[in-house]
Amino acid sequence: MSVTIQPITEAGKEFAIFSQMAGYDHEQVVFCHDHATGLKAIIAIHNTALGAAAGGTRMWAYKDEASALHDVLRLSRGMTFKNAIAGLNLGGGKAVIIGDARTQKNEALFRRFGQFVDSLAGKYITAEDVGISTKDMEYIAMHTKYVAGKPEIMGGSGDPSPVTAYGVYVGMKASAKKVYGNDSLAGKKIALQGVGHVGEYLLENILKENDPKNITISDFYEDRVKQIVAKYGVNAVDKDAIYDVPMDIYAPCALGATINDNTLSRLKCSIIAGAANNQLEDEKRHADLCKAQGILYAPDFLINGGGIINVYYEIIGNYNRERAYNHAGEIYDTLTNIYNLSEKENINTQQSAMRLALERIETIGKLKIR
């Protein structure tokens, strides 16, 4: 059989894999290919100073391979800081499977992927992410024990969303304490964008101390909005109107990048505290703008750490939900420290959170080497 070797280029441009790895400071990137199953996956191990690189696998129909590489590098780096600031003995990693999750899945593909994960002998621990179902996880787990966040029927810790929501809730309270002098959410006007898994649990927590008439929700799906309004009696607006409602607190629990030039000129809140990943369109610029506008921004990778905290207790064995909740509750104090550091150093809250995460990676990473 004759084989044509394609150059590693995209639209005439080199991938420059090593310079990208160097740019984000990655340890290892593994390209996984299997002709028979059609598997094309990338596993990115960003940093293992604190332990095995942990982070979910995402299946997505990337427009090209360069986009898949960019995504996995960015996401795995994010996991390093998220795991570090949560106080976990885990490094940062992530995997992407290139393909359409609606049409290109098959049993053999996931089982083959499981073999690739296993070949790393525990250096990378995978979990569910966008495009991956419980069934897919079952196939992966047939070939490797380095899988976490498994459903309860598989002996795993189950849905992490309630723990994530609890962490966001205590983070919201810590933010209220900083801004208003006490951490009660009673009477606070809250705009909650995205009432999916985490959004609904967060709403339940907030309603323990606030009246539904003070809460406004939005969601991409109209039927979901109707369901939540009927169940809890909260207000609802069209998805694009959420930024303009009168509010004290904006809680983004849908997609990323909703804190941007457009929304920051509309958001009249004093706090941003929500579950979504990568909320700031531009990490530096929009964190600075929040500060300049007098908005206290709760760094997403800290406040939404409850999910990975929950998974961590599955990884270390003898999973105990109460321990996971207690640990997620510590987000309150960590966030308070971040806010105090920002004030003292006159830096934005994203910067102070990054500083804390980096400090832990450096000091604890050194201990491990000795």
Give every CB contact of residue 26 below 8 A, 6+ residues apart in sequence.
Answer: 44, 45, 46, 47, 73, 76, 77
Sign of CA dihedral 262, 267, 271, 277: negative
Q: Is the Cβ of residue 33 or residue 321 nearer to ligand NAD in the bound state?
A: 321
Name the nearest CA neighbour of 92 among 43, 146, 41, 35. Answer: 43
Rounded to 5 degrees, φ, ψ at 54 are -120, 140
* Enzyme catalytic residues: 94
CB of 284 to ligand NAD, least distance (A): 21
Which single residue brings its beta carbon nearest to ligand NAD? 196
Three-state DSSP class for 17? helix
Q: How far apart are CA 346 and CA 351, in angstroms?
A: 10
CB of 319 to ligand NAD, least distance (A): 15
What residue type is assigned to position 180 of the chain?
Y
Give every CB contact of residue 279 below 8 A, 6+ residues apart in sequence.
Answer: 252, 256, 257, 258, 259, 272, 300
Residues that bind ligand NAD (CB under 6 A): 160-161, 164, 193-199, 218-221, 224, 239, 253-255, 275-277, 304, 307
Q: Is the Cβ of residue 109 or residue 308 nearer to ligand NAD in the bound state?
A: 308
CB of 205 to ligand NAD, least distance (A): 14
Q: Is residue 234 a contact partner of residue 201, using CB atoms and an 8 Å limit?
A: no
Q: Is the Cβ of residue 18 or residue 220 nearer to ligand NAD in the bound state?
A: 220
CB of 344 to ligand NAD, least distance (A): 29
- Go through 232-255 and write b for each residue having 16 or more CB atoms within 10 A of its CB, e for each that does not: bebebbebeebbebebbbbbbbbe
Give every CB contact of residue 147 below 8 A, 6+ residues apart in sequence.
Answer: 114, 117, 125, 126, 127, 137, 140, 141
Tokens 């929501």 label which residue?
A: 165
CB of 62 to ligand NAD, least distance (A): 17
Q: Is the Cβ of residue 138 or residue 200 nearer to ligand NAD in the bound state?
A: 200
Distances (CA, A) of 327 to 115, 159, 176, 278, 300: 32, 17, 20, 22, 17
CB of 67 to ligand NAD, least distance (A): 18
Rounded to 5 degrees, φ, ψ at 294 are 75, 25
Q: Is the Cβ of residue 116 or residue 301 nearer to ligand NAD in the bound state?
A: 301
Q: Is the Cβ of residue 136 or residue 219 nearer to ligand NAD in the bound state?
A: 219
